[in-house]
A = this chain, B = another copy of it.
Amino acid sequence: MGSMKVHQFARGFWEHEPSLTLGCKRLRPLAPKLANSETSVTASFDLKSFIRPESGPRKLGSSDDKRDSAQVETHPGGTRWNPTQEQIGILEMLYRGGMRTPNAQQIEQITAQLGKYGKIEGKNVFYWFQNHKARERQKQKRNSLGLSPCSRTPAPITTINLDSMGEVEREEDSPYKRKCRSWGFECLDDNNRLCREEGDRTLELFPLHPEGR
């Protein structure tokens, strides 16, 4: 599958045909927007913003290329994460402690911790919370029909702190919290699948608003 002789784009391929012939149906909301006639492209940000990281067209699998070295990362079975008892235990503990949607930092730490008990990636942690939350909710809903309608049992209070992890920051069920989940850098493996780099990064980017909204 890795056939893509990807070679980045030929720089100015469409450069001269920005709007092409498709500028007729779903254009901007109401009126023309223009604003960015030429300036944006020549504006200099071009390189600047790119040299930031370590700019280096990584492998990108030109041909097969098996330089996987100690790439034992991939679990032997190569399928999905198979949590160990310890991992589940910790996760549930955190869940019971009130954690519902850990942020990046938390995920990072949790993953690091759980990593001691078996292979695991950040996304596994993320998904686990997502699924667990959802399923607990279903279960609860289901029970609410056969049990007292008011035993919500919000969640015990515990305030666990995963080692160096600060505190759990209860989150009740608060639907919609606009927490800015996010996207990390994405890469893909030999099978053209996306994967995730867990280590610590140079975090940055995303200037982000002062939060004061």
Contact = CB atoms under 8 A, between A and B. Distances in A.
A79 interface: yes
A184 B85 CA distance: 26
A89 to B, nearest CB: 5
Interface in A144-196: 162-166, 172-176, 180-189, 191-196
Scoring A1, A42, A176, A201 by chain B CB atoms within 10 A of each residue's CB, the highest score goes to A201
A180 to B, nearest CB: 5
Interface in A48-99: 48-50, 52-60, 62, 68, 71, 73-79, 84-86, 88-90, 92-93, 96
Contacts of A78: 206-209
A187 B197 CA distance: 10
A4 B166 contact: yes
Scoring A105, A118, A119, A194 by chain B CB atoms within 10 A of each residue's CB, the highest score goes to A194
A147 B164 CA distance: 60
Give the number of times this chain occurs in the complex, counting copies. 2
A182 B173 contact: no
Contact of A19 (B34, B85, B163): B85
Contact of A58 (B33, B113, B197, B202): B202
Contact of A164 (B5, B41, B84): B5
Contact of A196 (B54, B119, B183): B183
Interface in A27-48: 27-46, 48
A105 B6 contact: yes
20 contacts: A6-B109, A7-B175, A9-B112, A18-B117, A22-B92, A26-B34, A27-B38, A28-B85, A31-B39, A49-B115, A55-B200, A58-B205, A68-B204, A104-B192, A183-B186, A184-B184, A184-B186, A185-B197, A195-B204, A195-B206
